[in-house]
Amino acid sequence: MNINELKKQLQLKEQQLLADMARGAADTRKSRGAEVQDHTDQVASSEMKESAFQENSYDWNILIEVRDALLRIENGTFGKCAACGQQIDDDRLNAIPWTSYCLNDQSQRDHKWFPKTD
Ligand SMILES: [Zn+2]
């Protein structure tokens, strides 16, 4: 595991997320400023706001995880699963450097949050 490389990736991701959110906020401001012509425009504009909001909250959640991962690098707990304490697989960390769970615990959490409905 090349921690300096992962740290660079995390910092890059942090910058990208901040830029995306700033752009999203600017778009929302622009659409809010635009004269709403008629009902269809109103619907379109509120749908746009809704999807911008969802995108921003998704980006926000990832940003929190990225910053937590940078903190873990600083305090030396990076790469350890927050649930079982085991070392997280290198391939998984290279793919998702901000993950705080091993694959096993992540899939258990996913099942908990998104139970399969047969
Ligand atoms: Zn685990």
Say if pTM beats, i.e. exceeds, 0.85: no
- How far apart are the CA of 85 and the centre of ligand 1, in A? 6
In the chain, pLDDT over 70 holds for what percent of residues? 86
User: What's domain 3-113's superfamily in CATH?
Assistant: DksA, coiled-coil domain (1.20.120.910)
> In this predicted structure, what is the pLDDT of residue 24?
80
CA of 80 to the centre of ligand 1 (A): 8
SS3 42: helix
Q: What is the whole-number distance in angstroms between the Cα of residue 27 and the centre of ligand 1?
A: 39
pLDDT interval class at 97 (50, 70, 90): very high
CA 79 to ligand 1 center in whole angstroms: 10
Q: How far is CA 57 from the centre of its chain?
A: 8
pLDDT bin (cut points 50, 70, 90) of residue 36 is low
Q: Quick one: tokens of 100?
A: 């705080």
Contacts of 106 (CB under 8 A, 6+ apart): 99
68 alpha carbon to ligand 1 midpoint, in Å? 17
- 91's tokens: 């391939």
Q: Choose the weakest-confidence range: 2-6, 52-56, 63-67, 70-74.
A: 52-56
pLDDT at 32: 64
Q: Taking 90 as the threshold, does the pLDDT of residue 113 lie above it?
A: no
> What's the CA gap between 76 and 101, in Å, rounded?
16
Query: What is the Å distance from ligand 1's center to 45 Cα?
Result: 43
